[in-house]
Each structure stands twice: as structure tokens, then as C-alpha cells.
Chains A and B, each alone.
Chain A
Amino acid sequence: MKRLTVIPVLGLLAAGAAIAQPLVVDLSDHRVAITTGFSGAEVLAFGAIDEPGEVVLVVHGPLRPVTMHRKARIAGIWINTASMTFDQAPSFYAVASSRPLDEIASPSVLARNQIGIENLRLELPRAKASPNVAKAWRDALIRTHQNIDLYGSEVARIGFLGSRLFSTRVRFPANVPTGTYRATTYLFVDGRVESAQTTPLIISKAGLEADIFDFAHQQGALYGAIAILVALMAGWLAHIAFRKA
């Protein structure tokens, strides 16, 4: 897939000049396959802008409910004593920009577009948590995701080639959740969103891994029986090897 990268960039350059679209973006891959040797992946996001401005890329993983636990010390041992469930939290979140975010747009503009980790919409029902408490849980959710590299700890850089062409790399760790991701690119001119474009990206298991996973989830009983059979066979083979030795 990587070899395709060069040609679209050149094409974009021509197209950008001809049709005068303010922002054109694409990804080097629209599908990331998790196969046997998977140890993370890097996707190149590249594009062109038609007028001088700043570019911000936000990658969102699929939304899902997330439960958080909090520990307290009981009889000398740390035990989960409280838990809280966020109905919707992105499973992955990363931001890249051509300049520090606070120099690109005002906090309210960034908040409206959920740009920057502090602007992620992670809400708890009012009834469950007062604003102070909710913030502690929210910070914890972000922190724990950053620890396992699913949320970016800092804003990555978008580099420019000349004044029109830009590119950046988005890194997905080995533990990346599967699903449909959204990569949204914003063009900011004078602190306003001039143009935005969203590109989908699918991360899925492929090959033997996908087959085993699907089989385990769809035919749990049969999978369990086969797992036992494999173990019985292996044990018997080991016994034969033992006896000869």
C-alpha cells in the first residue's frame, strides 16, 4: 500500500491547483490488517491546502462504554471500592497539528470540534457525579488510556512540504482495538474552521487470527471442544516422547 503514496500526492497537487478545493486529504491505508506478526502500524496522512492556514488532524477510534474503578485501602489492602461507567468513550484518540493548538484557534472553537484531549466529550450522568468528581474520573480515564498508548500524550506534528503539501504519521500500537476509525482533518484560517474532511479507516483482524477469533466467538462450544482435543493430543505425544527418552 505504501508505494501508492507518492502518486496521489502528485495528483493532489495538480487537482488542488485546478479545482481550488480548500483542503484535500487522504490516508496511505484505509484498512489496517492485524495479522500474525502485528506489532502496531503506522498510517501516513497527507494532503494539500489551497490557501495559507494551519492543519489539524484528529483520529477517533470507535466509541464504546468504558468502566473505571477506583481503589481504597481496606484493612491494609487496596481494593476497588467505586466504579463509574462512561457510556461513550473513544477507544483511540490522537491529534496532530501544524502549530501548537492554542496558537491555531480559541479554546471555544477547539472545544466545539473536540480537538485536543481536554476537549474530548466524556460525560457522566449528572445524577451519578458532581462536576468535581466527574472531572477526577474523566482525568483517570484519559490517563489510563495514555498509559497504554491508546490516547496520544501529546499533539503530534504535521510537517509541510513547501506551503501547500502536508503530511503526518499516525501510530497505532499493538493493542489497538478493532473497528471503524475516523480521521478528521481541519483547515484553520484566522482561527476559524475553513474546511474539514473526514476519512474512514478500518482496523480489523485478518487471516488466521481473524478466523480463530471469529470461530471462538461464534462457535464457542466447538472451539472449546477442539481446544481440549488439541491439549489431549499434545499430552499424548509428550508421553510418547517421554517414554522413549
Chain B
Amino acid sequence: MQIYLPIAEISMNVFLLLGLGGAVGFLSGLFGVGGGFLMTPLLIFFGVPPAVAVGTEANQIVASSVSGVLAHWRRGNVDFKMGGVLLLGGLLGSTFGVWLFAVLRQVGQIDLVIKLSYVTFLGMIGSLMFIESLRALRRRRGTAPSRGKLHKHTWIHGLPFKMRFRRSKLYISALLPVGVGFVVGVLAAIMGVGGGFIMVPAMIYLLGMPTAVVVGTSLYQIIFVTANVTFLQAYANQTVDVVLAVLLLTGAVIGAQMGVRSGAKLRGEQLRIILAVMVLMVCGKLLYDLTITPSDLYSLGLSE
């Protein structure tokens, strides 16, 4: 059954879209990731214009983050103060990102920038995750690791504007979370992701937040950043397709439920290795496509 998507201006199969939402939703439930980094390239692959894929995916992430954050809020796993500071950077970053997106689109480089961003970040995160989980698996078998220092002091702790974050048990410069929020905000706007896969490691390793509050706090600020991206993309570029978003969402909600249940049966390290391999595969495919000689050196640009 075909359905015509009013903003993407193409017609697609309803069941393909529901299935796509379901599959990505399943993975996001299984691994506890947003899934935007898989959905956006897939939509582009199926012929949705990149700009519409990014704008629409932002809209869908608003919904999945809301349902996620409500669950974490009930367990008290959201640091609202930290979330607010991250959000300040996130709003600035995503606003800048939407503007940058429009400029890059105008000069015909947006596809390249989207793909290169994916290659860079998926490559980095995938490798780190892979090495980390291999190490964890080995540690489980071998002897207990020697314990390092509890807190390392670096230049990061010398930055001004220090703030106390009670829920995260941190006393750090506000510039740090603002900066992290900004970078992730730019990426959210350009890559059509929530940015959880960058935000979460940054919160743990860079800010030193306790793992328990990381996911909830990340989701909390992603809601507002993606809502900002949705609004600006809709307002400035008219690239949010509500029909497409609702279809993907429906599939994703059901898929996520099944994913969570399947995830409960698997061990954490194994899950992370599977996710790392998948991330590296998407990254490799994108990189491969960038380096092989295209079938046609010429391509159609914006026609407006």
C-alpha cells in the first residue's frame, strides 16, 4: 500500500515505513540507543531527501525521548540542573546547526558533510565501544583489574564558572556541559540524531557523571534540542514531514517494546559488542560509498 508523503514529495510503501520504524525501534529498545543514527541514513537510502530525513527524524526523536525520560524520571535518574546547563549549549548548538545546514545545502555540500560526520563519529564511538567491551569480557574471565585513582585532576578542573551539581555529585565548570551540549546540538541538527551516542560517553568520560543519571539526563535535554531542531527545520526549511514521522513512530514504539524484552535476556558486554559491530558496519559502508568512483560524476542539486 503506497502512501504519498506531502513534504518529502515521494510515495512510499506504508508497511516498509512501519517495518523500518519497527526494526530501528527494536534495536533502540535492545541497546538503549536513540536509533536516529541508523534511521536517518536508512531514510536517505530509500530516497527520502536528506534534508527531510534529518528534519523528520528530529521530530520522531522528540517522541521516543519523551517516553524514555518519563520512565527514568519515575526512578529519579534525571539531573535537571545538569540537563538545563547542557540544554543551554544544546539550544545554541542546534540553532547554529540548522543555519549551517541551510548554508551547506545551498552550496551543494550537505550530503558530503552528513556522510563525513557519520563516518567520523560512528567510527570513533564504534571502535571505543568495541575495545571497551572486549576488555570488559576479558576482565570478567581473568583477574580483577588494579584500581586507578578515583579522580584525576586535569586542566578541565581549572576552568572558571564552577557550579555544583548535587544529583551528579559534581563540582565542575559550567563551560564544560555547555560546550558538550553545543557540539551535540550542532550534530543533532546536521545528522538528524538525538546525539545520545555522543552525549552519553561525553557525560561519563569527560564530565565524570555517575552512570545511573547519564541516560535519563541525556534524554531529558535531547527532548528540547530535537524539539528546537524540529521547530527551526519546519519554520526555516519546511523539511518536517509529519505523516512520515507518525508512521515511523508507530513502528518504533512497538519495536522498542519487543527490543527491551529481548535485551533483558542478553548480557551487557555481548550487547555492546553487537552494537559496536553494527555501528562500525554502517560507518564502513558510508566510507566505502564515499571512496568508490561514483557511477555518474554529475548529480542533480537543489531545484528551487
Contacts and interface: CB of A to CB of B under 8 A. Distances in A.
B62 A239 contact: no
Interface in A32-70: 34-40, 64-70
Given A216-B6, A227-B245, A231-B59, A69 B108 contact: yes
The 4 closest A-B pairs by CB, nearest first: A235-B66, A224-B234, A140-B298, A67-B301
B11 interface: yes
Contacts of B299: 68-71, 80, 144
21 contacts: A34-B4, A66-B303, A67-B301, A80-B299, A83-B301, A143-B296, A144-B298, A174-B11, A220-B234, A223-B240, A228-B62, A228-B230, A228-B231, A231-B59, A232-B62, A235-B62, A236-B70, A238-B63, A239-B66, A242-B67, A243-B71
Interface in B98-117: 107-109, 112, 116
B158 to A, nearest CB: 37
Contacts of A226: 242
Contacts, number: 186
A78 B290 contact: yes
Interface in A143-174: 143-145, 147-148, 174
A69 B300 CA distance: 6
A109 interface: no
B108 A67 contact: yes
A22 B242 CA distance: 51
Interface SS of chain B: helix
A205 B6 CA distance: 8
Interface string B243-270: 1011001000100110000000000000
A67 B302 contact: yes
B265 to A, nearest CB: 16
A211 B112 CA distance: 33
A140 B301 contact: no
Contacts of A238: 63-64, 66-67, 253, 256
Contacts of B10: 174-175
A230 B109 CA distance: 32
B245 A220 contact: no
Interface in A176-209: 205, 208-209
Given A39-B2, A231-B245, A66 B301 contact: yes
A143 B227 CA distance: 39
Contacts of B63: 230-232, 234-235, 238
Interface string B11-22: 100000000000
A216 B238 CA distance: 6
B76 to A, nearest CB: 16
Given A69-B298, A209-B4, A245-B257, 13 more contacts: A36-B4, A69-B299, A91-B303, A174-B4, A210-B6, A212-B6, A217-B238, A220-B235, A220-B238, A226-B242, A227-B240, A228-B59, A238-B256
